[in-house]
Amino acid sequence: MFQGFSPKANEFLWGIRLNNDRGWFEAHKQEYLDLVAAPLRELGDEVTRAFGELFPKWGLNLHVSRIYRDARRLHGRGPYKDHMWFVLRRPGESWTVRPAFYFEVAPESYAMGMGCYDAPPAMMARLRAHIDQDPKPLEKLARRLNRQDRFRLEGQEYKRPKGDPGPLLYPWYNRKGLALSWEQNWGGALYTPALVQEVVEGFQFLAPYYELLDRLAAEEQI
């Protein structure tokens, strides 16, 4: 059962960032297993179970990150990640091209959200087409997002705007990918079992936006 992360988990994440080599990691591997990997898996299991009971129709699966970076894609970085995460996604789907929920711990902060970070261009074209044809459904979601101060809209913007549907939907219309994210400094619920409910409630808020992106991803190309 998830009991919260320890402040020592934060110390480990800073340590692996500043000492990203095999010798340091092997000397502190048990700390990683006990302080980061185990509670992250416990949190992911409990969130998946609770969220799945609320939205069983999606059948989302849990995927927990590994600390080892792909040796083929180091690009001058050390062999270990200094941030760890889990995602809830449809079975067999890549979380970069289909929407997914995520939770992440990093040295500076922890975060949660939902999005499609590497959305296919055709998917974003479908979003723009939906806005052009009937903007009201997304206007409702955009206003809902703007009424709260927790999650914010993210995603790389086009250098040349694709159009201007008005100030409310402009940020949604002119991005290469979409994500809604929330980030918080270490502390508070992160150290307690209450984090499970905090993440589940955050994912509940994001559910209508997931449904929108999931539907767009599933549609045939226009």
Tell me the pLDDT tens digit for each residue of 34-51: 999 999 999 999 999 999
DSSP 100-149: EEEEEE-SSEEEEEEEETT--HHHHHHHHHHHHH--HHHHHHHHHHHT-S
Q: What is the pLDDT of residues 148-159, one digit of tens each?
A: 999 999 999 999
- Which pLDDT does position 70 carry in this prediction? 74
Rounded distance, CA 161 to CA 159, Å? 6
Tell me the two tokens of residue 106: 């990093």
Using pLDDT thresholds of 50, 70 and 90, give the confidence band for residue 59.
very high
pLDDT at 93: 66
- Identify the CATH assignment for 7-218 out of 3.40.50.170, 3.40.50.300, 3.30.930.20, 2.60.40.10: 3.30.930.20
Torsion of CA 65, 205, 92, 13, to 10 degrees: 0
Average pLDDT of the chain is 93
Say which range, 15-24, 45-54, 69-78, 128-137, has the weakest mean pLDDT.
69-78
User: In which band, very low, low, confident or very high, does the pLDDT at 98 lie, cut at 50, 70 and 90?
Assistant: confident
Residue 39 is predicted with a pLDDT of 98
Q: Hey, where are the domains in the chain?
A: 7-218
Distance in angstroms (rounded) separating the CA atoms of residues 81 and 84 = 7
| Higher-scoring residue by pLDDT: 123, 111 | 111
The whole-number pLDDT of residue 72 equals 67
Confidence (pLDDT) at 221: 41
